[in-house]
Structure 1
Amino acid sequence: MSVLFPPTTHLPPIAKIASFSITQLLDALTYLQSLYYPEVRGSHRKRVQAPVFNGEQNSRLPHEDDNELQVIRSDAFERSYSIRWLIALIAQLEVWQDLSHSRDASLDDLGKLEPIFTHTEMIVQQAASLLAICAGVAAAGIFTRNFVFGSIDGHRRVEAQLTDIPLDNDDYGSVGAQTWGGACVLAEMIVEDPERFGLDFSSDDPKSRRLNVLELGAGTGLVSLVVMKLLDTLPSFNHREVSVVATDFHPSVLANLRSNVNANVPSMHDQITSTHSIITHFLDWSSFSTAPRPDCLSYPFDVVFGADIIYEAQHAVWIRDCLKGLLRRPSDSIRSPAAFHLVIPLRPTHTFESSTVESVFLKAPDVDPNDDADLVILSKESITCDAHGDYTRGQGLDEDVEYLYYKIGWSNARL
């Protein structure tokens, strides 16, 4: 993040907004977003070494809170000024819109304002979202975040832009409409060490078979998109066919997921000529074993991901049943065993739900590998993150968020 300036000194003066170009106004909105858009809570792992980008140590990551940012965010005068500036911007947009419909407007005026007319809806939406956030009702708006993940050595860098939409207050299933910390943690881990997640098949014949990747409860699509973009950068996958399927259940979540995928990947025409593809699809875990399977879920998957998807008592059971039909079975002809990678937060309000993972999936040492294949926990890891991101709720910066990372696979797989 570059040097920060308070809105009162950085934004175009309110009285002169009309004299600034569309590019300058969009830049000003982007700057306000960097100040006031809430970060994803619990998305920063605590570690000794931070990733490097372009060969230089990056000690201030794009989503990393610091004291300077918090000082500006907590300054009531600066926040009030930002609100007044946004209101003035929206009012000026209305003036320009009225002018576009006025018979008195000259062709010269309309020519100058044409670039603004093409961006009016986007600017109004962004300004309205910022107004809601600055007023302390961040969940009420639609807003877009840019995510950047990199390897420790700086050789890999993956970026994604995701839009969150408001939650449906009448349906708990709509929680996937917003990006949660577990998805950020899992995406970061994947980029840092693809081989750990079965995404580096250098030991296999690169032309032997397609790599099939599935995400359960994809939400805004962060993990699926990061995997897709990461594989595009790995030399071992340059000519290897890859299929990524991002699934979810709730209608509004699925619609937003599709929108995010479309915004981050080439058009379908471009995908047809590529060996890599990503699609979204509806998946109801509770009826998977009895419902007809669509073509995109009719083949076995090599890698399955799930982030923050255990928040009801039945979820672990339903997911296990899905995995039995979707996770590729062990085969001597394939060196890399298939696995399900799950990251869940340890929320005080969902202690029982979190515990169901270890009651539904047994630990590998407790299962005889010579018995019939069963899905077991191959490994378990605790992850601690700085909370961050909840400044609108008055959360302390010293609070930690705990996650568990499970690797789950077949008990008789040759590891």
Structure 2
Amino acid sequence: MTVICPPTIYLPPIAKIASFSAAQLLDALTYLRSLYQPEVRGSHRKHVRAPEVKETRKFHLRHEFDSEVHVIRSDAFERSYAMRWLTALIAQLEVWQELLHSKDTSLDNVAKPEPTFAHTEALFQQAASLIAICAGFAATGTITRNFTFGSIDGQRRVAAQLTEIPLDNDDYGSVGAQTWGGSCVLAEMIVEDPGRFGLDLSFGDAESRRFNILELGAGTGLVSLVVAKLLHILPSFDNREVSVVATDFYPSVLANLGSNISANFPPTNDVIPSTHSITTHFLDWSSFSTTASPRPSSLSYPFDVVFGADIIYEPDHAVWIKDCLKQLLRRPSERTLSPAAFHLVIPLRPTHTFESSTVESVFLKACDVDPNGDADLVILSKESITCDAHNDYTRGRDLGEDVEYTYYKIGWSDTQI
């Protein structure tokens, strides 16, 4: 799919659907999914850097591409046609399935090449899902995404389903209504190696106290959901009380965050043990450290691990976050074998270069801090991550674009990495 076309042009003609192969129909469904359920940009890590393209050209091509896609996605007529096409495809699939069930497998008068039952079933499921997606997008602008992350050895798999909602009147404060690439990258890294993030207590912290986890700017809640589900399957947390608190400050984002948690952890299902909990709470970084009123109970205790992804996009954010961490991140203790840490992933966006740079001006490197001074929050380690920006829909458009992230591990200056 190297050229952006509207459904009325790209899709096989409705009257001739039966003459197309299963592979061709699958390609059409993939196109529709890319259009009406786009993947999260910059969420696929890679280890080999592709040849660089000049930033100005990348920006020009990306802006041009995004504009074209937005026009097609917002066109009510094109979306209506896509739904009619999907309905016609399902009707044709039902014909094929009836013929296959009746053992008339020739289907020479219906399609060429002949589809199998597995093909028709797979196409049917995708088409039905896309009708729901298109209908939901038309009615509310919402998008439902399914994520699955696995460990490198294949022993662990964690899945989560999220609903994204439209921005409130294009208010930038509601950006948490969308799932951003940084949260996908962080969630993937956590599942791959929990110990790296202080989440494997097999060889360390044997305390019986509750293990507390906080996410700042949780948005749709991907990281919190993945962490809560991961701890359910890690043996070292079988008999440990665990609290995961997902926070945000924008009302509609916080409401959607709560809905996503309820959808992934329905009260009637034993998805996580009774000793584990995941909750949401309002948290305004700008005022948390200066508010005189008593803290809510869910934020009144120190946290062992704090996560943040794609949360630095204004100049003051790093300062506010540090002020919050000073009160929320557990202080060093001889009783705690696993030092508390804040794990932050931020994208290096050309449009937010200054905002990204504030992290390293607000949090000093551990080696630059006076070892005889008071404990301070410092950068313990830093790692660069490169992701492919494009998805299947953009592949072949020669954008040559990567998304760069920086992963910071931040903790108290008198702790060891």
TM-score by length of 1: 0.72
Q: How far apart, CA to CA, are the structure 1 residues paired with 2:400 and 2:238?
A: 43
| Residue in 2 that maps onto 1:196 | 196
1:2-401 to 2 correspondence within 5 Å?
8=12, 33=33, 36-47=36-47, 83-87=80-84, 126-129=133-136, 141-204=141-204, 206=206, 208-267=208-267, 274-291=274-291, 292-389=294-391, 391=393, 396-401=398-403
How far the C-alpha of 1:82 sits from its partner, in A, is: 7.2
Secondary structure in 1 matching 2:168: coil
Contact 1:29 1:127 in 2 (8 A): no
Q: Does 1:404 align with 2:406?
A: yes
Measured against aligned partners, the alpha-carbon deviations of 1:209-257 in whole angstroms (never above 9, x if no partner) come to 2110000000000000000011111111111111000000100100110
* Structure 2 counterpart of 1:276, one-letter code: H
* Structure 2 counterpart of 1:210, one-letter code: R
The change in CA–CA distance for 1:183 and 1:205 in structure 2 (over 3 A counts) is: closer
Q: How far apart, CA to CA, are the structure 2 residues paired with 1:269 and 1:36?
A: 31
Contact 1:218 1:246 in 2 (8 A): yes
* Structure 2 counterpart of 1:39, one-letter code: E
TM-score by length of 2: 0.72
The change in CA–CA distance for 1:244 and 1:395 in structure 2 (over 3 A counts) is: farther
Contact 2:151 2:191 in 1 (8 A): yes
Secondary structure in 1 matching 2:213: strand
Contact 1:377 1:406 in 2 (8 A): yes
| Residue in 2 that maps onto 1:101 | none
Secondary structure in 2 matching 1:372: coil
Q: Which runs of 5+ in 2 are unaligned?
A: 1-9, 19-27, 49-68, 89-128
How far the C-alpha of 1:202 sits from its partner, in A, is: 1.2
Number of aligned positions between the proteins: 335
* Structure 1 counterpart of 2:333, one-letter code: S
How far the C-alpha of 1:150 sits from its partner, in A, is: 0.6
Contact 2:34 2:393 in 1 (8 A): no
Deviating above 3 A after TM superposition, structure 1's stretches of 4 or more consecutive aligned residues are 6-14, 28-36, 79-83, 87-91, 122-125, 129-132, 204-207, 268-273, 389-397
* Structure 2 counterpart of 1:128, one-letter code: A
| Residue in 2 that maps onto 1:94 | none
361-370 vs 33-42, which deviates more?
33-42
* Structure 2 counterpart of 1:300, one-letter code: P
- Identity across the alignment (%): 73
Contact 1:151 1:157 in 2 (8 A): yes
The change in CA–CA distance for 1:163 and 1:30 in structure 2 (over 3 A counts) is: farther
Measured against aligned partners, the alpha-carbon deviations of 1:14-59 in whole angstroms (never above 9, x if no partner) come to 9xxxxxxxxxxxxx999954774100000000037xxxxxxxxxxx
The change in CA–CA distance for 1:385 and 1:10 in structure 2 (over 3 A counts) is: farther
Q: How far apart, CA to CA, are the structure 1 residues paired with 2:15 and 2:366?
A: 58
The change in CA–CA distance for 1:233 and 1:173 in structure 2 (over 3 A counts) is: same
Q: How far apart, CA to CA, are the structure 1 residues paired with 2:142 and 2:165?
A: 5
Contact 1:258 1:280 in 2 (8 A): yes
* Structure 2 counterpart of 1:211, one-letter code: F
Secondary structure in 2 matching 1:239: coil
How far the C-alpha of 1:165 sits from its partner, in A, is: 0.5
Q: Which runs of 5+ in 1 are unaligned?
A: 1-5, 15-27, 49-72, 92-121, 133-139
How far the C-alpha of 1:290 sits from its partner, in A, is: 2.4
Q: How far apart, CA to CA, are the structure 1 residues paired with 2:211 and 2:386?
A: 31
C-alpha RMSD of matched pairs (Å): 3.6
Measured against aligned partners, the alpha-carbon deviations of 1:286-318 in whole angstroms (never above 9, x if no partner) come to 110122310000000000000000000000000
Q: How far apart, CA to CA, are the structure 2 residues paired with 1:394 and 1:30?
A: 15
Q: How far apart, CA to CA, are the structure 1 residues paired with 2:150 and 2:258?
A: 25
How far the C-alpha of 1:203 sits from its partner, in A, is: 2.2
The change in CA–CA distance for 1:286 and 1:39 in structure 2 (over 3 A counts) is: same
The change in CA–CA distance for 1:130 and 1:182 in structure 2 (over 3 A counts) is: same
How far the C-alpha of 1:168 sits from its partner, in A, is: 1.8
How far the C-alpha of 1:206 sits from its partner, in A, is: 4.1
How far the C-alpha of 1:398 sits from its partner, in A, is: 2.5
